[in-house]
């Protein structure tokens, strides 16, 4: 039994990284723009569908180009539908993103059909590695590495570059940054594009594991919200810790009480919010208080 | 100064227009009466539009539409109108059932992929005394202890599919692992198969329930792998089954154990792809094979022509369900529920399968042969995944017995 528990904990950690990857884009957009993006799941789904479509003509390049395509869609949506809502009642943003989610999911169903599409991982990533009681598939290890690299790149970008400092400053005090002569509109557009592109990467990487169907957005959005809420809205570190916690909790509940494996992440969220209403590493933001 | 515009006779323009409108209504009156006579026959459809079973929902709707096309879009010289509302959770489906009956005034309702949803709407149909044609649920109790005079079921009860597929699976070994969806259908499938297995000397080496809509089965599969079963029996459908198959491949279990489920939809396997799809399954129908009749072949052709792909099981089920409702309306020349029920209880439908099929009058289960199908070793066609291994039962004489006697079924209609 101990061996199986160790195996489940490691599997939960790996699953947690997949949850983190799905949640990062949501965290970026909320953390920088203050938008609770209900449409996050459809950018995730678009990533998978773009890769599927581009794969026939572009082969492995589709994996890189699909998230770029999703980022472009995100930029267009930000410029046309989201921008007019900045500074207005936050509820409008919620309604808008909810509407976008429903519309894009229907669009996916219309273009690609309701039937799922096969999507295989490349042959060099098939198979698994066994260390004692622990079994990890090569593909999930690959997802873990990609997630860590994305997190590192984002951290370096936000903390080590001038552009990143502008984004962080703009997220805290947009008026002050504007007064310094910086065009915040462009910054916000770029951040929205970045967040949606990361959601697209998550969609591409989840496609060989999960069903590629229009409703795949629904399977992504709830874990992403739970991870971001537990971690603290807008906190990268919080999202990582939270994703891993959720992954381990789900894996262990499957070991001992499988029927509750979905409920356990919500129970964890309730528990943590009772103790820390802003989430694990959530900070007090004057803009949103 | 603003002038009052009048006609030459001194009547104001407004009065003239009002008079013209009244006159037009009078003239149009015969057409209003005609339009009322051609009021549509509304039939409700409750199938999923989103979630794990969304694909089955769409294909089921397509099947129902082909049945309407077969009737030329009319019955009793009135246009047929299909009103499709979403089947999602038992509560939401129940609300939509009320909407169909109370607001849309449908003459009958068809649908229900999930047994949990169907069990929730059966009492609504009974209270409203309207016909419910349950095309997609499999939980045994729907035509068993929870049966209803107003509900007819097209799909197969778990008890029958278990008996059909067990002889082939038992050859693979006695150690079985069960992973089932944590609602009526999955739990019933486990109970039915476990009873047969244990009676035959087999062992349950693991049993897990998975919430409907589970995306990641990796932790379940670690347990399965550890238990080293001969057979994995999964009460999973829709995207859940697709995810399970994809992740079995990921962990290297594809074709390493025998795999089966209480029923299967082709779409779940199409989505998993040829590399991940495997197993032996009971099927209500398959679009290829020696069992095909002329009428079924015509249905496949019509479906292909309209939707550019062959129909899978759910399409056949909803095609047949809608055909039976429309046939009942046509033959009884009525939309009266009592007359429709009377017709369906007595009628034998010929040409839909390779032996006549019928709804039993004591439980309203469609008695029909089913197929035991195995995923092809090498899949070369995008849609053609199955080899038909056998038909169950093998002859028409054994058909009624295969579905159990009234005493075994335990169904008693409320008077």
Residues B318 and B222 occupy one common structural domain? no
Query: A203 pairs with which residues across the strands?
Result: none
pLDDT for B265-295, tens place per residue? 999 999 999 999 999 999 999 999 999 999 9
Nearest residue of chain B to residue A9 (CA atoms) = B219
pLDDT of residue B408: 87
Residues B280 and B307 occupy one common structural domain? no
Answer yes or no: is B402 within a domain: no
Answer yes or no: is B169 within a domain: yes
Minimal Cα–Cα distance from B312 to chain A, Å? 11
Residue B5 has pLDDT above 70, yes or no: no
Q: Compute the average pLDDT of residues A200-217.
A: 92
What is the percentage of chain B residues whose pLDDT exceeds 70? 91
Residues B254 and B195 occupy one common structural domain? yes
Residue B102 DSSP one-character state:
I
pLDDT of residue A284: 67
What mean pLDDT, rounded, does chain A reach? 89
Give the nearest partner residue to B270 out of A7, A116, A214, using CB atoms. Answer: A116
Interface contact B242-A261, CB threshold 8 A: no
Residue B139 has pLDDT above 60, yes or no: yes
Q: Compute the average pLDDT of residues B216-234.
A: 94
Residues B182 and B212 occupy one common structural domain? yes
pLDDT of residue A285: 61
Answer yes or no: is B56 within a domain: yes
Report residue A122's pLDDT band, with 50, 70 and 90 as the boundaries.
confident
Spatial separation of the C-alpha atoms in residues B394 and B369, rounded to whole Å: 8
Q: Which of A118, A123, A127 to mutate to test the interface with B (most CBs of B within 10 A)?
A: A118
DSSP H or E stretch at residue B74: strand B74-75
pLDDT of residue A286: 59
Residue A100 has pLDDT above 50, yes or no: yes
Q: Give Cα A130 distance to the centre of its chain.
A: 29
Residue A149 has pLDDT above 80, yes or no: yes
CB atoms closer than 10 angstroms to residue A251: 27
Answer yes or no: is B26 within a domain: no
Q: What is the ipTM of this complex?
A: 0.89
Residues B337 and B378 occupy one common structural domain? no
pLDDT for A214-233, tens place per residue? 989 888 888 999 999 999 88
Residues B211 and B137 occupy one common structural domain? no
Residues B74 and B144 occupy one common structural domain? yes
pTM: 0.85
Strands (DSSP E) along A80-223, which ranges? 128-131, 134-137
Answer yes or no: is B361 within a domain: yes
Residue B20 has pLDDT above 50, yes or no: no
Q: Which residues of B touch A109 (CB under 8 A)?
A: 58
Which tokens belong to B261? Answer: 């489920």
Answer yes or no: is B22 within a domain: no
Q: Is A287 exposed, middle or buried (0-12, 13-18, 19+ CB in 10 A)?
A: exposed
pLDDT for B43-92, tens place per residue? 999 999 987 788 899 999 999 999 999 999 999 999 999 999 999 999 99
> Do the bridges between strand B175-181 and strand B151-153 make them parallel or antiparallel, or are there none, so unpaired?
unpaired
pLDDT of residue B305: 96
Q: Compute the average pLDDT of residues B7-21.
A: 44
Residue A67 has pLDDT above 80, yes or no: yes
Q: For chain A, state the CA radius of gyration.
A: 19
- Determine contact: B58 vs chain A, CB below 8 A: yes
Residues B137 and B215 occupy one common structural domain? no
Residue B23 has pLDDT above 60, yes or no: no
Q: How many domains does chain B have?
A: 2
Which CATH number belongs to the domain containing residue B153 in this structure? Answer: 3.40.50.2300
Residues B169 and B271 occupy one common structural domain? yes
Answer yes or no: is B208 within a domain: yes
Query: B111 pairs with which residues across the strands?
Result: B46, B134
Domain range spanning residue B316?
41-157+290-368
- Determine contact: B384 vs chain A, CB below 8 A: no
Report residue B7's pLDDT band, with 50, 70 and 90 as the boundaries.
very low
Answer yes or no: is B72 within a domain: yes
Q: Which residue has better confidence, A259 or B277? A: B277
Interface contact B271-A212, CB threshold 8 A: yes
Residues B316 and B216 occupy one common structural domain? no
Q: Give Cα A181 distance to the centre of its chain.
A: 32
Residues B140 and B247 occupy one common structural domain? no
Residues B183 and B203 occupy one common structural domain? yes
């Amino acid at each position: 039994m101990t061996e199986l528990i160790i195996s489940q904990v490691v599997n939960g950690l790996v699953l947690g990284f997949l949850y983190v990857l799905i949640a990062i884009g949501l965290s970026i957009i909320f953390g920088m723009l203050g938008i609770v993006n209900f449409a996050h799941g459809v950018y995730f789904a678009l990533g998978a569908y773009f890769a599927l479509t581009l794969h026939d003509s572009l082969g492995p390049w589709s994996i890189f180009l699909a998230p770029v395509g999703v980022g472009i869609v995100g930029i267009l949506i930000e410029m046309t539908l989201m921008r007019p809502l900045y500074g207005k009642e936050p509820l409008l943003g919620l309604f808008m993103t909810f509407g976008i989610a429903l519309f894009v999911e229907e669009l996916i169903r219309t273009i690609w059909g309701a039937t799922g599409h096969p999507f295989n991982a490349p042959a060099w990533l098939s198979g698994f590695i066994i260390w004692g009681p622990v079994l990890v598939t090569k593909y999930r290890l690959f997802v873990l590495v990609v997630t860590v690299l994305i997190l590192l790149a984002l951290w370096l970008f936000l903390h080590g570059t001038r552009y990143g400092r502008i984004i962080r400053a703009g997220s805290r005090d947009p008026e002050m940054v504007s007064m310094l002569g910086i065009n915040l509109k462009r910054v916000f557009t770029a951040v929205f594009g970045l967040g949606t592109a990361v959601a697209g990467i998550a969609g591409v990487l989840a496609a060989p594991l999960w069903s590629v169907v229009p409703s795949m957005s629904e399977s992504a959005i709830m874990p992403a919200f739970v991870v971001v809420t537990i971690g603290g809205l807008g906190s990268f570190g919080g999202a990582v810790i939270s994703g891993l916690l959720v992954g381990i909790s789900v894996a262990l509940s499957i070991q001992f009480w499988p029927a509750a494996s979905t409920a356990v992440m919500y129970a964890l969220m309730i528990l943590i919010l009772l103790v820390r209403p802003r989430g694990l590493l959530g900070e007090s933001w004057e803009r949103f208080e | 100064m603003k002038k009052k515009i009048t006609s030459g006779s001194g009547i104001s323009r407004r009065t003239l227009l009002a008079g013209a409108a009244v006159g037009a209504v009078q003239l149009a009156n015969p057409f209003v009466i005609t339009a009322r006579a051609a009021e549509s026959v509304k039939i409700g459809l409750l199938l999923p539009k989103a979630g794990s079973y969304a694909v089955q929902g769409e294909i089921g709707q397509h099947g129902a539409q082909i049945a309407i096309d077969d009737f030329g879009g009319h019955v009793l010289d009135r246009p047929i109108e299909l009103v499709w509302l979403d089947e999602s959770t038992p509560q939401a489906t129940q609300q939509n059932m009320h909407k169909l009956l109370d607001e849309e005034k449908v003459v009958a309702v068809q649908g229900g992929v999930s047994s949990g949803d169907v069990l929730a709407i059966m009492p609504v149909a009974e209270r409203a005394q309207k016909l419910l044609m349950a095309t997609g649920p499999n939980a045994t109790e729907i035509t068993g202890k929870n049966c209803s005079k107003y509900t007819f079921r097209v799909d197969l009860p778990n008890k029958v599919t278990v008996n059909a597929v067990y002889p082939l699976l038992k050859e693979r070994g006695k150690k079985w692992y069960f992973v089932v969806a944590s609602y009526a259908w999955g739990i019933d499938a486990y109970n039915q198969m476990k009873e047969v297995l244990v009676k035959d000397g087999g062992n349950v080496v693991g049993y897990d329930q998975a919430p409907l809509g589970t995306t990641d089965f990796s932790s379940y599969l670690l347990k399965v792998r550890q238990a080293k079963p001969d057979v994995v029996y999964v009460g999973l459908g829709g995207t859940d089954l697709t995810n399970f198959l994809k992740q079995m491949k990921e962990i290297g279990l594809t074709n390493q154990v025998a795999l089966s489920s209480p029923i299967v939809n082709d779409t779940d396997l199409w989505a998993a792809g040829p590399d991940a799809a495997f197993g032996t399954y009971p099927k209500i129908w398959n679009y290829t094979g020696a069992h095909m009749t002329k009428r079924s072949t015509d249905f496949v052709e019509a479906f292909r022509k309209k939707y550019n792909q062959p129909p899978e099981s759910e399409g056949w089920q909803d095609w047949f369900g809608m055909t039976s409702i429309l046939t009942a309306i046509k033959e009884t020349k009525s939309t009266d529920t009592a007359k429709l029920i009377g017709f369906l209880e007595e009628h034998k439908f010929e040409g839909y399968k390779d032996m006549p099929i019928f709804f039993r009058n004591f439980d309203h289960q469609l008695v029909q042969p089913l197929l035991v199908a195995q995923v092809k070793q090498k899949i070369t066609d995008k849609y053609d995944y199955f080899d038909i291994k056998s038909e169950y039962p093998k002859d028409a004489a054994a058909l009624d017995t295969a579905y159990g006697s009234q005493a075994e079924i335990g169904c008693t209609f409320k008077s």
